[in-house]
Amino acid sequence: MSRNANVFLPINFSEMKERGWDEVDFVYVNGDAYVDHPSFGAAIITRVLENAGYKVGFLAQPDWHTCEPFREFGRPKLGFFVSSGNIDSMVAHYTAAKKRRSDDAYTPGGKSGARPDRAVIVYCNRIREAYGDIPIIIGGLEASLRRFAHYDYWDDKIRRSIIFDSQADLISYGMGEKQTIEIANRLKNGEPISSITDVKGTCYVCDVEDTPLEGAECPSFENVVKSKREYAVSCRIQLDEQDPIRGKLIKQRHGKKMLVQNPPMPPLTTEELDEVYALPYMRTYHPSYEKQGGVPGIEEVRFSITHNRGCFGACNFCSIALHQGRFVTSRSKQSIVEEAKLLTKLPDFKGYIHDIGGPTANFRRTSCEKQLRSGLCKGKKCLAPKACPSLIADHTEYLDILRAVRSLPGVKRVFIRSGIRYDYMLKDKDETFFKELVRYHVSGQLKVAPEHCSAHVLDKMGKPHIEAYIDFSKRYFELSSNAGKQQYLVPYLMSSHPGSTLNDAVELALFLKKRNIRPEQVQDFYPTPGTVSTCMFYTGLDPYTLEEVYVAKDPEEKAMQRALLQYYDKKNSGLVLKALKKCSRYDLIGHGSKCLVSPEKSSYQNKAADKRGVSYGKAKNKKRR
């Protein structure tokens, strides 16, 4: 199909008939509204299926209260693919404090409530009601990260693999293009879904006696429910075997059944990625949403380009390692430039490309040559706590792409808004990329993610120590000044991550005060499925050492940790006071230059301290003497 012939996939029976179809091969059920843009996984998978010759109906945000909406296209010839959307439905609905969100960026008009909690499970059960034993394949982030027995923050318990509660036949985990086409082709050729058990990048269920002999076995569902130590062991096995080169088959018993995860599917090559991103996306939401105000989620990515996949940074609180993987692959320069040219021809393009990025914008290849032969090292990180001696830090290719795109007719500016690993940048002996980043690709402020300043907290996060951020920020401001620009750094910070005590939060507050950093937003740690940090949150153990880890779970303590990061905000003064007293840091209460908060006004000694401009701690100690 040429770009001139671009059309959306049918979203209902009448649109299917307009195409001259009597039936579809597959129905793709999605918890998001239909946005046909390559930043949306559902758009990629459905276009890949279409490109392979399959007729696909796109059923977006169906009413789940009955099974009738799932009959919209009639019984599909080959089966259903089901996803909750771009993010986990529980994360879409609830904050880290488990409060219901009022908005949803992936729903028309930005309104919450268009999908159910645990959307994959609900959708699949409705499909079973409607069509019985029809093939159902689940994928996307929600299914992928819940493929093993997992801790569920919202239920505060271990749930079994999502394949059981959803009654699906297969889980397609990871990015999914290759396994989707292999499954579709085998179903087309008449193979029953029950016999499709050897596709890489998929999970299936079998009787215990039919379990493959090879591979690694995790502690069973029953054992991880009983023992937090067993759960930690299970998490480590799962994370260690997600490498496309050396990863093993993984088994986990659930009662009389065995969950089997086949080894990971190899990532797409550069040529294959180029083909995926050259498919005829409409690059916007379906026009039926226009009267509702459109879909807000498109705005951040409408004029952005994804150039890579995977992240060897592998922060412990990030789910990319278990979903996309740590193995970095990237598109060709030509592919990226062609997409940029396409953006310039869109009617509402104003000359600004908002991002050329990905999970980590400045990664274009694996971090070392060994990964290409042997895969990524087990239990080790490429960048934390310090960069591996084998690391190859080179921005030459990325810089060449940025130069090519920003020189295109119609392009005024090219920004980089997705994550940049500044520690990786510092290891590049050639500073050209750093200089051009500051001069051409920052829109006044650059967002980076030091997350914390305490070394032992950063170790639990899998992040570099704060010295890397200090070195980077110093050079960033020097280069900005040299370029005649007044630019800022916006640091992402996280409170209450496993390992972080109230004293650590005080240390971070002092770090911010010393450097006059006033973060407008901070993030409480959010225990989402599939991460090392969530395992630590639930078990109180580091899965790689089995050593105990402090975890802040009391709501008041978590509120105090968060408040300390914004100590300067008057609405936080009560919590900051309470936290400092709890830590016996009276020296930080008062009006002295090193103090974090003013003292309470109720006592005489506090008023006296206020007048002298000394700290509450000094006044208190003087009275005692």
The 10s digit of each residue's pLDDT in 83-95 is: 999 999 999 999 9
Residue 548 pairs in a beta bridge with 541
Distance in angstroms (rounded) separating the CA atoms of residues 397 and 402: 9
Residue type, 590: G
**pLDDT tens track for 281-333:** 999 999 999 999 999 999 999 999 999 999 999 999 999 989 999 999 999 99
pLDDT reading at 2 higher than 60: no
> Residue 6's pLDDT band (boundaries 50, 70, 90)?
low
SS3 310: coil
Rounded CA-CA distance 164/365 in Å is 37
Per DSSP bridges, beta strands 202-207 and 257-261 are antiparallel
The one-letter amino acid code at 76 reads: P
Residue 366 pLDDT level (bands cut at 50, 70, 90): very high
Strands of the 250-254 sheet, one edge to the other: 56-60, 26-30, 79-83, 136-138, 170-172, 202-207, 257-261, 250-254, 216-217
Pair type for strands 445-451 and 413-414: unpaired
Residue 613: the pLDDT is: 39
Determine which of 172-186, 348-362, 429-443, 599-613 has the lowest per-residue pLDDT on average.
Answer: 599-613
User: What pLDDT was estimated at residue 624?
Assistant: 38
Cα(73)–Cα(137) distance, integer angstroms: 17
* Domains of the chain, CATH where assigned: 3-204 (3.40.50.280), 449-569 (3.30.750.200), 585-625 (no CATH)
Mean pLDDT confidence for 337-365? 96
Q: pLDDT tens digit string along 381-424?
A: 999 999 999 999 999 999 999 999 999 999 999 999 998 999 99
Q: Residues 462-493: pLDDT tens digits? A: 999 999 999 999 999 999 999 999 999 999 99
* pLDDT score of 213: 95
Name the CA dihedral angle for 372, 375, 379, 381, rounded to a multiple of 10 degrees.
20
Cβ(47)–Cβ(278) below 8 Å: no
Task: Note the pLDDT of residue 521.
Answer: 82
Q: What is the pLDDT of residue 601?
A: 54
d(CA 567, CA 598): 10
Percentage of the chain lying above the pLDDT 70 cut = 95
Crossing angle of helices 270-277 and 333-344, in 10° steps, is 10
- pLDDT > 90? residue 602: no
- pLDDT per residue as tens digits for the range 17-48: 999 999 999 999 999 999 999 999 999 999 99
Q: What is the pLDDT of residue 391?
A: 96
pLDDT in tens, 192-214: 999 999 999 999 999 999 999 99
Burial degree of 95 (CB within 10 A; 0-12, 13-18, 19+):
exposed
Cis peptide before 385 (omega within 30 of 0): yes
pLDDT in tens, 132-150: 999 999 999 999 999 999 9
Mode of pairing for the β-strands spanning 170-172 and 136-138: parallel
**pLDDT of amino acid 533:** 98
Q: Would you state the pLDDT for residue 8?
A: 97
pLDDT in tens, 542-568: 999 999 999 999 999 999 999 999 999
Q: DSSP letter at 252?
A: E
- The mean pLDDT value of the chain amounts to 94
Assign 520 a pLDDT band (cuts: 50, 70, 90). confident
* 69-79 mean pLDDT: 98
Nearest to 312 by CA among 229, 260, 230, 383: 383
3-state secondary structure of 597: strand
Say what the pLDDT of residue 150 is: 98
